[in-house]
Structure 1
Amino acid sequence: MNIIISNASKEPIYEQITRQIKDNIINGILYQGELLPSIRSLAKELKISVITTKRAYEELEREGFIETVPGKGSYVSAQNKEFLKEKKIKSIEEKLSQAIEDSRLIGLTKEELKEMLDILYDNI
């Protein structure tokens, strides 16, 4: 599993791990029933605290992305891929709604906002 941690990011490390694992599940890189690295081995690989990795796994389990079997490890949950994608779409809609509200506050036009989105979409 390829997880990249950015120390320059304002996003906490456990959230970076959580987000990347979720994205891998949604995009089919990690599949239902696949065994994830142990908390200790992932912490060692990423050179981070075991507590940070544990927090990421707990968050993933709370949200239903993974299941942990005591003594055996953590596995990708058997979830409907379309449901996971729908959750991600809802999150994007909420963020776009906030961006629209913010742009209206400063008088940005719809065309300027679309242009900004086009530029960001093509460059990220």
Structure 2
Amino acid sequence: MRVIVSTTSGVPLYEQIVEQVRAQVMSGELSAGSPLPSLRALAEELRVSLITTTRAYNELAAEGLIVNVPGKGSFVAEIDADVARAGALDRARAGIRQVVTRARASGRVSREELMTMIEEEWEL
């Protein structure tokens, strides 16, 4: 498992961990049943607090991406394709909602401009 965190990105550290592990699980880079580093080992490796890694693993478990087995560790869960798709759609909708809210609040971005930006990003 590869995880790189940045203290200057403005994104909370636990969210950076969640996003990167999620991407690796969804892409198949981390396969079902694969063991994850222990909470302490990951905290030490990333130089973050144990609370940060615990929060990240708990969020991943709540999403059904990993399974925490007391006394044994954390493992990549078997992912149901429909559940994974629904989760991806939910996260995309939440992100879009946030972007639309910011654009409306600015009063300076039209719907057409926003749609053009989305299309441009999609093509990248």
The question of a shared fold, defined as TM-score above 0.5 by the shorter chain, is answered with yes
Aligned residues: 123
TM-score (ref. length: structure 1) = 0.82
The residue aligned with 1:67 is 67
2:118 aligned with 1:117, yes or no? yes
- What do the CA deviations read for 1:88-121 (whole angstroms, capped 9, x no partner)? 1222123224434544552533432233234444
Are the aligned partners of 1:17 and 1:56 in contact in 2 as well (CA < 8 Å)?
A: yes
Unaligned runs of 5+ in 2: none
Counterparts in 2 of 1:47 and 1:100: CA distance versus 1, 3 Å: closer
Unaligned runs of 5+ in 1: none
Amino acid at match of 1:112: E
Counterparts in 2 of 1:36 and 1:115: CA distance versus 1, 3 Å: same
The residue aligned with 1:30 is 30
SS at structure 1 position matched to 2:24: helix
TM-score (ref. length: structure 2) = 0.82
SS at structure 2 position matched to 1:48: coil
Cα RMSD (Å) of the superposition? 2.2
Between the aligned residues of both structures, percent identity stands at 37
The residue aligned with 2:79 is 79
Amino acid at match of 2:68: T
SS at structure 1 position matched to 2:95: helix
